[in-house]
Amino acid sequence: MHSVRKIKHICDVFAESGAFSALLQISDSAVKPIYDDLSEYAKSLWDNKYPCSSGGWLDYRVLNADQLYDLKKLISAKMNNFNC
């Protein structure tokens, strides 16, 4: 007998010179608890997300350490919200 691991998609990463973008789908329930702690840039992306189901898609472009910090918060919130 062999074990089966469930695989969850976290995000797609697109590299460019001096920056990168992460495309991630995230639910409203994952973002709601951290929304007030996000930067104005991250809030703007969330407020203008491409809607999907009970959340949306974010195309998060990272140009500096503060944006990377917010992206880490979003990914962590997404991971904590997985129903495994």
Mean pLDDT of 26-44: 96
In a domain, 41, yes or no: yes
**DSSP-H helix ranges across the chain:** 28-31, 40-47, 65-80
In a domain, 7, yes or no: no
pTM: 0.86
Identify the three-state secondary structure at position 82: coil
In a domain, 6, yes or no: no
In a domain, 42, yes or no: yes
In a domain, 30, yes or no: yes
Q: Per residue in 56-84, pLDDT tens?
A: 999 999 999 999 999 999 999 999 987 54
In a domain, 1, yes or no: no
Mean pLDDT of 28-41: 96
CB 42 within 8 A of CB 60: yes
Number of domains in the chain: 1
> H-helix or E-strand containing 2?
none
Flag whether pLDDT at 42 surpasses 60: yes
Q: What is the pLDDT of residue 63?
A: 96
- The domain in which residue 27 lies consists of 12-80
In a domain, 16, yes or no: yes
